[in-house]
Amino acid sequence: MVMRMGRGKTPQITFTLDFHQLVSGELAPGTPCAVRYDPLRIVPPGDDYRFGDPERPVTGYFAFRPDAPAAVEVILQSPSGIHDEPDVDITGQGSALVGEFDIPADAEQVIAWFSFADSAGETRWDSNGGSNYHFRFMLRELQILKADVENDAKAAISRFHLEVSAPAAATRVTARYRVMNTQPPAERQEVELTRAGDADGGGVLWTLPGLQVPHAAVVAYDLVYVVGGRSHKDDNHGRYHLAPRPSRLFPDSFGDPAGPPKELVAALARHASA
């Protein structure tokens, strides 16, 4: 089974100014979860809000089943008090309001939304257009059973093999992949995996049985699976998955838990978002 970044680490969800939702650590039932939230997502331009003002809080609401009401309300706070000039960073690395809540042991997923009262007294909502933000327990329910590149020297081609166990409720699984060791790196493509019966542990097996790629290819990929009409992305905490595994590419200096080698990390940073 492929090693995953964040396994066993305390989960945190960061809500960034550019409206990304970034999960770090292992989101799972029965664990505490930290929240970091940029209030400029919800405070309207021109409002006289001061960062971290406890008299004008941003409140987070969290539910743990689809269509359920909020089970937990958390007033987000500034860990360093009120600021007139907070550090603004759209990627989530600057000033943020923080909070924490416990995920119950019987939770099915984490669903989040937020509210704020503006200077005119009107309640503002950050709720993904009313559908809220949904986070599944990805490291528990999505397992990469096999990811490898099989080289055929005689034919001067290779084949990318992938086997994934996804939750029974998943209706679609795709891999978005890019061959990294070509000059320039290839354009990212998306390919459908095929449902292939039951997997161990109650999941369903999805396979990609030998996609042709250039000879001796190094493939960077992420996975997207659809449950209840919602898409959920597994990009290995932004590091992306690799096939062959790093330990096979650089056996003397890299192991699977350390993530991709530096050369490939740099290449991913340049090209993954294209």
Q: Answer whether residue 251 shows pLDDT above 50.
A: no
> Given this model, what pLDDT does residue 156 score?
87
Residue 102 CA to residue 64 CA, distance in Å, equals: 10
Give me the residue spans of the domains in the chain. 12-137, 142-271
Nearest to 97 by CA among 109, 110, 115: 115
Q: What is the pLDDT of residues 188-232, one digit of tens each?
A: 999 999 999 998 888 999 999 999 999 999 999 999 999 999 999
pLDDT for 8 beyond 80 = yes
User: Pick from 169, 194, 252, 249: which is nearest to 216 by CA?
Assistant: 249
- Categorize the per-residue pLDDT at 6 as very low, low, confident or very high, splitting at 50, 70 and 90: confident
pLDDT single digits (tens) 13-63? 999 999 999 999 999 999 999 999 999 999 999 999 999 999 999 999 999
Q: State which fold the 12-137 domain adopts.
A: Immunoglobulin-like (2.60.40)
Q: Is the pLDDT of residue 263 over 80?
A: no
CA 175 – CA 173 distance, rounded (Å): 7
Residue 183: the pLDDT is 86
Q: Do domains 12-137 and 142-271 have the same CATH topology?
A: yes
User: Taking the complete model, does pTM exceed 0.75, yes or no?
Assistant: yes
What CATH number is given for 142-271 in this structure? 2.60.40.2440
pLDDT at 200: 84
Express the helix, strand and coil content of the chain in percent, nearest 5 each.
10, 40, 50
